[in-house]
């Protein structure tokens, strides 16, 4: 049995909504891979996920914002379990690869998000916030610079992330493969939208409810939409921020419901229930929630950032708008509200796109091929 350790900054077990990498963990376990998950934070007393028997979780007890916190727990796991491969974000795994405990362990870098503009500034900021020591920051940077000579394979979730990461991490382009995140098309099952809608129109958003996800752009866009809308926000948010959004919409016919973090099955229900899924994010690696919503047949409106252009063909399987453009976002929402034929076309083509290119089965198949390869390990 293949034994793999995944390293996550945070886990779905203690943050509510699941990550794309965690979906991959569970999917591989269902195929017979022995999976260990090393995550920041503490083990929750309760969670709503049903995990495969071949998945084990290990928590650092500290914030995952400091990758150095993973090292002692990794060394303990490596002593007690026959780990063959470690998979994780370069920032989270580079220090582990430099440990003596990593001897004879294969490392696969997972590029699941856009790289930081400056590693030095990223870690110095963490140090200034008291989340790590200055010495740890410089040690991490040194490990990341050494990592390309250690890593066996690099897997990016999109061409856009690959293009941005290769120069930032000094990777060899030929060592980087692209495997898109896949969604479970059975959990996120298809639901065809009605040609005629009642009001209010239900618009859903999923993800961290923050400025960077374009949530304020969405609120400002709704101020320009006349048809009454119920905006359902699924994801973690500060109460104060939700109140600010309500103030923005206070003189409109629209309402906001904040659902908080939700599990996969509940989220899938919201996707199938809503009339439009809006995701005007400013930056993404690929957009897990975007492909989940498309799998459910949602007419989607999203920003025209490069990763989304790898998924959306404007006017065919969704509508794209310029980043930080409330007026264009409002126009796209109004277009879906007025044009039932466009909604039906985008709904059907969205599901087709996911089945052909972004299914969980396709992602797992490609990862199984990579994990089954056993090259000569570096000493």
Q: For residues 324 and 3, what is the distance between their CA atoms, to the nearest angstrom? A: 44
Q: Which residues pair with 4 in a beta bridge?
A: 35, 85
Q: Which of 182, 155, 101, 98 is nearest to 373 (CA)?
A: 155
Where does 201-357 sit in CATH, by number?
Answer: 3.40.50.2000
- Token output for 50: 């049903």
Backbone phi, psi, residue 156, to 5°: -105, 150
Residues 6+ apart with CB under 8 A from 287: 279, 281, 302, 307, 308, 311
Q: Which of 132, 134, 131, 165 is nearest to 148 (CA)?
A: 165
Q: Give the model's pLDDT for residue 199.
A: 82
- Of the CA atoms within 13 Å of residue 272, those in its CB half-sphere come to 15
Backbone phi, psi, residue 291, to 5°: -75, -30
DSSP-derived 3-state class of residue 175: helix
Q: Give the model's pLDDT for residue 202.
A: 96
Query: H/E element holding 349?
Result: helix 340-357
Q: For residues 317 and 308, what is the distance between their CA atoms, to the nearest angstrom? A: 12
Question: Residues spanned by CATH 3.40.50.2000 within the chain?
Answer: 3-182+360-372, 201-357
Contact 290/303 with Cβ under 8 angstroms? no
Q: Which residues pair with 320 in a beta bridge?
A: 302
3-182+360-372 folds as Rossmann fold (3.40.50)
Query: H/E element holding 276?
Result: strand 276-279
In 198-275, DSSP assigns E strands to: 201-206, 229-234, 255-260
Buried b (16+ CB within 10 A) or exposed e, 283-305: ebbbbbbbbbbbbbbbbbbbbbb
Check residue 193 and report its DSSP letter: P
Q: Which of 100, 349, 123, 333 is nearest to 225 (CA)?
A: 333
Give the number of other Cβ atoms within 10 Å of residue 336's Cβ: 23
| Average pLDDT per block of 10 residues along the chain, 379 residues long | 94 86 94 96 89 95 92 97 96 96 95 91 88 90 94 95 95 92 96 79 97 98 97 97 97 97 94 96 95 98 97 98 98 96 96 97 96 53
Give the number of other Cβ atoms within 10 Å of residue 56's Cβ: 15
DSSP-derived 3-state class of residue 196: coil
Q: For residues 101 and 7, what is the distance between their CA atoms, to the nearest angstrom? A: 15
Residues 6+ apart with CB under 8 A from 107: 85, 86, 87, 93, 96, 97, 147, 150, 151, 152
Q: Which residues pair with 319 in a beta bridge?
A: 301
Q: Give the model's pLDDT for residue 372.
A: 86
Q: Give the model's pLDDT for residue 373.
A: 59
Q: For residues 165 and 161, what is the distance between their CA atoms, to the nearest angstrom? A: 6
Q: Which of 218, 179, 213, 232 is nearest to 305 (CA)?
A: 213
């Amino acid at each position: 049995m293949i034994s793999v350790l995944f390293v996550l900054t945070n886990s779905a077990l203690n943050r509510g909504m699941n990550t794309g990498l965690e979906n991959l963990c569970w999917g591989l376990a269902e195929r017979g891979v022995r999976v260990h998950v090393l995550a920041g934070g503490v083990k929750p007393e309760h969670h709503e996920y049903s995990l495969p028997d071949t998945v084990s979780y290990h928590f650092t007890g500290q914030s995952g914002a400091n990758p150095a916190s993973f090292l002692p727990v990794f060394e303990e796991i490596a002593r007690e379990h026959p780990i063959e491969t470690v998979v994780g974000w370069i920032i989270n795994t580079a220090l582990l690869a430099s440990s003596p405990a990593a001897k004879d362990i294969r490392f696969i870098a997972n590029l699941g998000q856009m790289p930081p503009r400056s590693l030095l500034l990223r870690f110095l900021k963490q140090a200034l916030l008291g989340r790590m020591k200055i010495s740890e920051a410089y040690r991490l940077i040194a490990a990341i610079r050494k990592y390309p000579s250690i890593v066996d394979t690099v897997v990016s979730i999109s061409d856009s992330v690959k293009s941005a990461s290769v120069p930032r991490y000094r990777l060899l382009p030929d060592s980087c493969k692209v495997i898109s995140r896949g969604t479970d098309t059975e959990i996120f099952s298809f639901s065809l939208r009605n040609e005629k809608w009642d009001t209010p129109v239900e618009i859903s958003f999923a993800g961290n409810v923050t400025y960077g996800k374009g949530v304020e752009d969405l609120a400002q866009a709704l101020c320009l939409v006349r048809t009454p809308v119920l905006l359902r926000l699924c994801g973690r948010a500060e109460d104060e921020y939700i109140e600010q959004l309500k103030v923005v919409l206070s003189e409109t016919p629209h309402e906001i419901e904040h659902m908080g973090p939700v599990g996969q099955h509940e989220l899938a229900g919201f996707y199938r229930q809503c009339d439009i899924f809006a995701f005007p994010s400013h930056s993404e690696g690929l957009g897990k929630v975007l492909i989940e919503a498309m799998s459910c047949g949602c007419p989607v409106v999203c920003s025209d950032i490069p990763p989304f252009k790898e998924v959306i063909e404007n006017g065919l399987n969704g509508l794209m708008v310029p980043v930080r453009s409330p007026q264009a976002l409002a126009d796209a929402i109004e277009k879906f509200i007025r044009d039932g034929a466009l909604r039906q076309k985008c709904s059907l083509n969205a599901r087709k796109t996911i089945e052909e290119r972004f299914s969980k089965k396709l992602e797992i198949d490609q990862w199984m091929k990579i994990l089954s390869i056993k090259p000569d390990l570096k000493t």
